[in-house]
Structure 1
Amino acid sequence: MPRWWPAFALLAMCASGAASAQTPSSGSWPGATMAPSVPAQAAVASAPRTSSVELELRPRFGGTEATAINHLAGPVEVTLLSDGPPPHATPALPARVTVPGGGRLVIAQLTDGAAGTRLRLVAIPGLPTARARNVEYLYPLRDAPVRIAQGFGGGFSHDDNENRHAVDFAVPAGTPVLAARDGVVMQVESGASARLDPDAIVDAGDDRVRGNFIRVLHDDGTMALYAHLQQAGVVVAPGARVLRGTIIGFSGNTGLSAAPHLHFVVQANRGMRLESLPFRMAGPDGPLRFGQVRADTDAPP
């Protein structure tokens, strides 16, 4: 799963407006400000699939107030940046805040006189204060033998910080996916209908790379990602509390996927960056040992 790249927009300091961009799921997520007079195609480099976090600009106190609006059912850490000389702002840019799920929070008060400034909103899901507990996770597939196509540190696609401790379970499409741990559904995507052509050029900031997925927030601030689910294969809604062992979706082959499988990873926000975490998991026949699995060259991403 590649990292996200920025989308840019011109900021008209005296104009009000809001813009949404890609779902914050990995790395730096591009958010953009947009004045009504700026054409949409110039404001956002790649069209968003879902409206998850917005940057709202409103005239206030003789300047412009920048507010982050979080539509996810869990916290997001955001940083407002300026590409080039930063405008005068309180606090000075870059400014960072953590926005609770479903909440809104002022990031900075910008002074007038900085028309043409390029702003960039970067967002990472989760609390930067998350501290993982030593929890045993449940094997997240029902009535399916354990077949690990790629384990911890798999060279095919598990070689970055966000996926180094991810596991790809090879499983037929339509297999029930279970919650591996209690938590709250923070984010879902269920509209992908097929796998992507691996030779196609896909924006790194496009959620299509993971296809249909579910992100579950745990009570210690860590998050589990269940990815590449089948079309309409999500059966839980954001904000719902799920219990360990309950069905939350169905496996598939959507997104940047070479074969039907479930991509499972536990992540935490480590201060504006996602990091995958090693975890323990109980399989049908006892503990699973992902660190001993090496990816085959034909393993799915």
Structure 2
Amino acid sequence: MRKQCPGDRWQYFGIFRKIISWFLVFLTVSMVSIFQDSDNLSNVCFSRADEQKSMIEAEVLGTENQPEIYVYNRYYGPVEIEFILTRAVNIISSPVLPARFVIPQAGRIKTFTLRPSMPQASFSYAYEYRFTFGDPKAEHRPPKPYRPPFPNGNRFRISRSFQDNSGSDDNYNAFAVNILMSKGVPVCVSRKGVVMDIAMETFTKKTSAGIIKGQTYLVRLLHDDGTMGVYAHLKPGSVSVSTGMQLEEKQVIGEPGVSDDIDMPHLYFAVQKNSSMKLESIPFEFEDPQSAKGIPPFRGMVLRTD
């Protein structure tokens, strides 16, 4: 299954003020998240290399004695952000931190205000924040079962499904599936949505010839109920969509690729929501083309698009 590449990114900011002058000190933590697999090989996930700006930007406005922290969200969908104070000398925050805020698509809001508890004395502070894709109030309400994510006239088998992940604490993958596909067959939209994010994933794997490196892509679609469809392990160079695009059912996204644990073309597919600042996969059903009814996926199930 897929190593989790989380939506939350950590950043650190600090500020120090003396009686007459003040200045802002900030350090942005790398947006790279590293995970270890069973062979102690690093798997690295990171955002698109061509991103010129941070998609989430915190800005200090207000006055010298009462800084106000604003956040701008450049993603094509909502994010939830959490702030914590890591240093607070003669400082009061309103609201009290830690606190969480939902920033809408292309939204800019004031999150919190700081002020000295003793106005005539020096103060200093530092804060960190993290964010996660999605609104925590989203509820999964699909209008119909999910269409198998490939063109009409194909049949492909599920190699890993819900039952294979039961008993695990890995909520990110708990209700995800791997679909074995043929080389060059397009990956299509299962449920319409807006392209919220496109990310590149890199992996390393051990083979008889030694350690090799590879990469795949992930496309995240925001559904109208606030949940998100995740199409991962896409072949590099095959992704044909861009962020902000409204995609309809059956529209082509890319082609299946290979990953660290599966050598043949396949698609990782999941439906996710933000749950307490964590991305969690949630149960869903695939559409049976003959009955139009929903069927929960299982390992060995053959998906059809007649």
* TM exceeding 0.5: yes
Q: CA deviation at 1:257?
A: 4.8
**Contact between 1:172 and 1:252, CA under 8 Å: does it hold in 2?**
no
The corresponding residue for 1:203 is none
Q: CA deviation at 1:173?
A: 4.2
Measure the CA separation in 2 of the matches of 1:67 and 1:92: 16
Match of 1:111 among 102, 111, 115: 115
**Contact between 1:15 and 1:58, CA under 8 Å: does it hold in 2?**
no
The corresponding residue for 1:78 is 81
**Contact between 2:165 and 2:175, CA under 8 Å: does it hold in 1?**
no
**Contact between 1:167 and 1:290, CA under 8 Å: does it hold in 2?**
no
The corresponding residue for 1:126 is 134
For the pair shown, which has the larger CA radius of gyration, 1 or 2? 2
Q: CA deviation at 1:180?
A: 0.3
User: What's the secondary structure of 2:155's corresponding residue?
Assistant: coil
The corresponding residue for 2:176 is 166
The corresponding residue for 1:95 is 99
Measure the CA separation in 2 of the matches of 1:145 and 1:181: 18
**Contact between 1:21 and 1:54, CA under 8 Å: does it hold in 2?**
no
Match of 1:214 among 203, 211, 219: 219
- Say what the alpha-carbon RMSD is for the aligned residues: 3.5
Flag the 1:16–1:48 CA change in 2: closer, same or farther, 3 A: farther
User: What's the secondary structure of 2:164's corresponding residue?
Assistant: coil
User: What's the secondary structure of 1:146's corresponding residue?
Assistant: strand
Measure the CA separation in 2 of the matches of 1:138 and 1:52: 31
Unaligned runs of 5+ in 2: 17-22, 34-44, 117-121, 207-212, 302-306
Flag the 1:210–1:220 CA change in 2: closer, same or farther, 3 A: farther
Unaligned runs of 5+ in 1: 25-45, 200-207, 296-301
Flag the 1:182–1:268 CA change in 2: closer, same or farther, 3 A: same
**Contact between 1:23 and 1:53, CA under 8 Å: does it hold in 2?**
no
Flag the 1:211–1:89 CA change in 2: closer, same or farther, 3 A: farther
1:124 counterpart letter in structure 2: T
Measure the CA separation in 2 of the matches of 1:277 and 1:109: 36
The corresponding residue for 1:278 is 283
Please give the per-residue CA displacement for 1:200-219, whole angstroms capped at 9, x wherever unaligned.
Answer: xxxxxxxx998311111111
1:132 counterpart letter in structure 2: H
Q: CA deviation at 1:251?
A: 1.5
Report 1:1-301 matches (<5 A).
1-2=3-4, 4=6, 7=10, 9-13=12-16, 14-15=23-24, 19=28, 22=31, 49=48, 50=51, 51-58=54-61, 60=63, 62-83=65-86, 87-111=91-115, 113-115=122-124, 117=126, 119-134=127-142, 135-142=144-151, 144-155=154-165, 160-189=170-199, 196-198=203-205, 211-253=216-258, 256-259=260-263, 260-283=265-288, 289-290=295-296, 292-293=298-299
TM-score normalised per structure 2: 0.72
Please give the per-residue CA displacement for 1:213-238, whole angstroms capped at 9, x wherever unaligned.
Answer: 11111111111000111112221121
User: What's the secondary structure of 1:154's corresponding residue?
Assistant: helix
Please give the per-residue CA displacement for 1:83-103, whole angstroms capped at 9, x wherever unaligned.
Answer: 465852111111211111122
The corresponding residue for 1:33 is none
User: What's the secondary structure of 1:188's corresponding residue?
Assistant: strand
Q: CA deviation at 1:177?
A: 0.8
Q: CA deviation at 1:18?
A: 8.6
Q: CA deviation at 1:269?
A: 1.7
Measure the CA separation in 2 of the matches of 1:47 and 1:212: 10
Q: CA deviation at 1:115?
A: 3.3
User: What's the secondary structure of 1:226's corresponding residue?
Assistant: strand
Q: How many residues of Structure 1 are paired with residues of Structure 2 in the alignment? A: 261
Measure the CA separation in 1 of the matches of 2:78 and 2:5: 20
